[in-house]
Amino acid sequence: MKPLFIVTILILSLLGRSANAVPAGTLLISAKGACSRFSVSDKNYTCDKLLYAELPNGRFGYTFVVPGGVMTLFGGRTSQPAPERYTLIIDKIVTTFDQSGKTADLPATGTCVLYLSGDGKIFHELHCDVKGEVDRIVIDFKSDGKPVSADRF
């Protein structure tokens, strides 16, 4: 089973959906690497991969699997003035951080800026600075320099 598919099933199960619920046309891209910084207010996390989703309804998101849960930063507006720099304007945070599987769906403001190769095959770095109702989230992710894995459902 592909690692991307496993992460997708995990995310969907935590969001209360089955793998059959992935909308047709959804693009999922995964990149391996490490977070040099992943802070949620006063808590620090680590990460070793990110999942980018492009949904057919015009929404986009970055998902991180962290110890004890999953966090996705969603937005509907993007900017890409150059092929190597992609900005997602964040307007929502969806988290699942407990064993009950309950999710929190919170409004947010901020940006995630992705630096990538011109052909989009390598995600170099991702920098997110997002403010939710209660927490500030800062993420600095650096990839392992290898091409991403991508699947369209």
pLDDT at 48: 93
Strand partners of residue 138: 39, 129
* Amino acid 130: pLDDT: 98
Q: What is the pTM of this model?
A: 0.83
Domains in the chain, number: 1
Identify the pLDDT of residue 98: 66
Range of the domain at 83: 3-152
CB 53 within 8 A of CB 27: yes
pLDDT average per 10 residues of sequence, the chain (153 residues): 44 46 80 95 91 92 86 94 96 82 88 96 97 92 96 85
The pLDDT assigned to 24 comes to 75
Distance in angstroms (rounded) separating the CA atoms of residues 72 and 106 = 11
